[in-house]
Amino acid sequence: MDLDPLVNQSRTLVQKWLEALRGEPSPWADELERWLLAWHARVLQAAHSTGERQAHALRAAREAVGVVRGLLPLAPQGSALDPAETDRMLEDWLARAIAFETAAQPPAVASPGVVDGLTQQALQQLHQHSHGLQPNSAHCFVCGLRNPYGLKMRFLQIAPDRVRAYAVVPEVYQGYPGVVHGGILAAMMDEVTGRAASGTDPATARLFYT
């Protein structure tokens, strides 16, 4: 997967924060700098790897982010680094990294309604074995496998005009704490209404819009 957006974001943030820490000689600043550099190094390693090595490096990068976030509440009084803002930016990077990992899971789709060759074969095999997996689009908010901000829902057709889907909704889409926002639920229901009539045969499946 192309991790350039994650690399660029981590590089920009690390440079910004190291500049802020430059005037703060303290054990806390030294430890934070060490983990910031470790984070970016692991992101770079992931960007230059493939397969399981890439996944391992990206997990290590996410773990480094966890350490950095754990150090933020220990910031000395008067630090130039705003712990709340820094944590928010790290949480945003973390959400993007998780989205990239999810988007990298096969099968991938070239564009809405257009299935690439390998995915075509995979879907055809699933269809022949009656698994009922419907094809996905690329950038749809609900079912787009390449949308870093989307839900990436996969749909199984279990009977005529009936589909089933499983999804874990990220915290960023909550309304009340721990409760999915109603607008997100409405988007999921909107997708279901079209999916129920889409079909599973990759040669004839149709993707609908409202």
Q: What is the CA radius of gyration of the chain?
A: 21
What per-residue confidence (pLDDT) applies to 117?
Answer: 55
Task: Give dist(CA 79, CA 11) in Å, integer.
Answer: 21
Provide the pairing of β-strand 154-159 with 162-166.
antiparallel
What per-residue confidence (pLDDT) applies to 133?
Answer: 74
What per-residue confidence (pLDDT) applies to 103?
Answer: 56
Q: Which residue has the tokens 């889907």?
A: 165
Length of the chain: 210
What per-residue confidence (pLDDT) applies to 37?
Answer: 95
CB 73 within 8 A of CB 79: no
Determine the angle formed by the axes of helices 4-21 and 83-103, rounding to 10 degrees. Answer: 160
Question: Across the 210 residues of the chain, what is the mean pLDDT of every consecutive 10-residue run?
Answer: 83 92 86 94 91 86 91 86 89 81 50 46 51 75 86 81 79 88 95 83 66
Q: Smallest Cα–Cα separation from 68: which of 127, 4, 21?
A: 21
What per-residue confidence (pLDDT) applies to 114?
Answer: 40
What per-residue confidence (pLDDT) applies to 80?
Answer: 85
Long-range CB contacts (within 8 A, 24+) of 13-18: 13/89, 13/90, 13/93, 14/39, 14/40, 17/81, 17/86
